[in-house]
Amino acid sequence: MGPKKAYAVVNRKAFPPLKNDLILRAARGEKTERVPVWVMRQAGRYLPEYMQISSKNGFFSICRSPELACEVTLQPIRRFNLDAAIIFSDILVIPQALGMQVDMIPGPSFPEPLCTPADLEKLNKNVDVNKELGYVFQAITKTRHALEGKVPLIGFSGAPWTLMSYMIEGGSTTTHSKAKRWLYTEPEASHQLLQLLADVIVDYLLGQIKAGAQLLQLFESHAGALGPGLFSKFALPYIRQISYKLKERCSESGVTPVPFIIFAKDGHFALEELSGSGYEVVGLDWTIRPTNARNKVGASISLQGNLDPCALYAPPEEIKRHVKEMLQKFGTQKYIANLGHGIYRDMNPDHLEVFVNAVHTYSEEMNATQ
Ligand code: 1CP
């Protein structure tokens, strides 16, 4: 047993008891007295306290420092009545673990993206996640202690297609044409890369659970670039594999599995399939009607989402109205409130506070009158 593994296991026994398990109950489909709420990208650039740390430390140095990652994870928890923390990291730590250089300047940039299938040979095929990503596990364990059981801690990973896109495009893109070109012209090499990513992701998420993550989210942020055909061939099989293999690996290693959220942005066309993919929660972006989503996923799955992040620009009274409407459509059970994507960096933090408190107030009111 390596020293990092021992660190995680020894400390896990001493984790403080959880005082607020609303989000875990909602994820498992159990009754909740009010709707739990967290926000994608709740730690980050819209918070002046994050900007202060980020002005002195590079983005990946924050991710790689368990102390700084823990501090930044806690910042929104100190400010708002959120029902979960999400570990501060990035989906692009996996391409780094595979041996690729990724810079944040300020968006992600790969100086040497994958150009042809021959470039797959340059990737590290036997990733030891404890060695390459142990800093994330340490940050998770440290944060679990620092949270003192206030709220659960969410771990996460990017999904294979989304990571493949960054690795080939070398950064952000609107068309994803280089990566999609691989799907159409190099299907075998594409599957090879997607499988390599899926295998690392399973190891990585198992490590996160062992380190103390109490809920997981898989981000398929670029689902919308694919459409139904490519999605069912190149994204869905790996999304499925990850949830089932992770549960298998948990049981083999005597670890209790945690609830798992799949968020496939702009992937409405796949909601039925996603609801049968082994995830307890399906996350929604703001472009789908809550009732449509519920009809597509059925009654047993929990839903998460889906206020338009731009709705938080509205004056407080309007934000409250949007929240009320959203809660009326989703109902208060089997539901986790969130934005339909990450909060924008120019958002006034006070408006997030209005959003969070409105979810609590209205959902308690609704439950009381039901
Ligand atoms: O210098 C900085 O502060 C850079 C901004 C930033 C931040 C705060 C990046 C660069 N990543 C993060 C943190 C981050 N990224 C978190 C933890 C914070 C939290 O949620 O509280 C998480 C969960 C992510 C996940 C992530 N990174 C996703 C999936 C979510 C999504 O937005 O769809 C994606 C696509 C990324 C890639 C990435 N990293 C950073 C940026 C600006 C991007 C997006 C680039 C693009 O638009 O393609």
DSSP-assigned letters across all residues of 199-266 = HHHHHHHHHHHHHT--EEEEEETTGGGTHHHHIIIIIHHHHHHHHHHHHHHHHHTT-----EEEEETT
**Alpha carbon distance 133, 69 (integer Å):** 13
Judge whether residue 200 has pLDDT over 70: yes
CB atoms within 10 A of CB 288: 18
Residues 300 and 27: beta-carbon distance below 8 Å: no
281 lines ligand 1 (CB under 6 A): no
Q: Cα 10–280–160 angle (5° rounding)? A: 80
Portion of the chain with pLDDT greater than 90, in percent: 95
110 lines ligand 1 (CB under 6 A): no
> Angle formed by the axes of helices 349-368 and 66-79, to 10°?
60
Among protein residues, the one whose CA lies closest to atom 2 of ligand 1: 59
What is the distance in A from the centroid of ligand 1 to the CA of 69? 14
**Residue 4 counted as domain residue:** no
**Residue 205 counted as domain residue:** yes
**Residue 99 counted as domain residue:** yes
Judge whether residue 71 has pLDDT over 90: yes
Q: Which of the four pLDDT bands, split at 50, 70 and 90, describes residue 13?
A: low
Q: What are phi and psi of 133, to 5 degrees?
A: -125, 15
- Average pLDDT in the chain: 96
Domain hosting residue 313, numbered range: 22-368
Q: Does the bond joining 338 to the residue before it have cis omega, within 30 degrees of 0?
A: no
Portion of the chain with pLDDT greater than 70, in percent: 96
Sign of the dihedral defined by the CA atoms of residues 281, 344, 231, 219, in that order:
negative
Q: Which atom of ligand 1 is nearest to the CA of 86?
A: 21
Q: Is 122 exposed, middle or buried (0-12, 13-18, 19+ CB in 10 A)?
A: exposed
CB atoms within 10 A of CB 166: 27
Residue 84 CA to its chain's centroid (Å): 12
Q: Which of the four pLDDT bands, split at 50, 70 and 90, describes residue 9?
A: very low
What is the distance in A from the centroid of ligand 1 to the CA of 41? 7
90 lines ligand 1 (CB under 6 A): yes
Q: Which of the four pLDDT bands, split at 50, 70 and 90, describes residue 5?
A: very low
**Residue 169 counted as domain residue:** yes
Judge whether residue 177 has pLDDT over 90: yes
Judge whether residue 12 has pLDDT over 70: no
Exposure on the CB side of residue 114, measured as CA atoms within 13 A: 28
What is the distance in A from the centroid of ligand 1 to the CA of 250? 27
**Alpha carbon distance 277, 78 (integer Å):** 35
Among protein residues, the one whose CA lies closest to atom 31 of ligand 1: 221
What is the distance in A from the centroid of ligand 1 to the CA of 38? 16
Tally of domains within the chain: 1
Residues 147 and 214: beta-carbon distance below 8 Å: no
Q: pLDDT tens for residues 226-244?
A: 999 999 999 999 999 999 9
Kindly state the average pLDDT of the residues 245-261: 97
**Residue 17 counted as domain residue:** no
**Residue 12 counted as domain residue:** no
Instruction: Take residue 94 and report the two structure tokens written for it.
Output: 């996996």
Q: Which of the four pLDDT bands, split at 50, 70 and 90, describes residue 201?
A: very high
Q: Is 302 left (phi over 0), alpha (psi -120 to 50) or beta?
A: beta
Residue-by-residue DSSP string for 19-55:
S--HHHHHHTT---SS--B--TT-SSTTSHHHHHHHH
339 lines ligand 1 (CB under 6 A): no
**Alpha carbon distance 221, 341 (integer Å):** 9
Q: pLDDT tens for residues 321-357?
A: 999 999 999 999 999 999 999 999 999 999 999 999 9
Q: Is 254 exposed, middle or buried (0-12, 13-18, 19+ CB in 10 A)?
A: exposed
CATH number for the domain that contains residue 341: 3.20.20.210
161 lines ligand 1 (CB under 6 A): no
**Alpha carbon distance 1, 351 (integer Å):** 47
**Residue 1 counted as domain residue:** no
**Alpha carbon distance 24, 26 (integer Å):** 5
Q: pLDDT tens for residues 88-145?
A: 999 999 999 999 999 999 899 999 999 999 999 999 999 999 999 999 999 999 999 9
Judge whether residue 7 has pLDDT over 70: no
**Residue 7 counted as domain residue:** no
Q: Which of the four pLDDT bands, split at 50, 70 and 90, describes residue 370?
A: confident
Judge whether residue 4 has pLDDT over 50: no
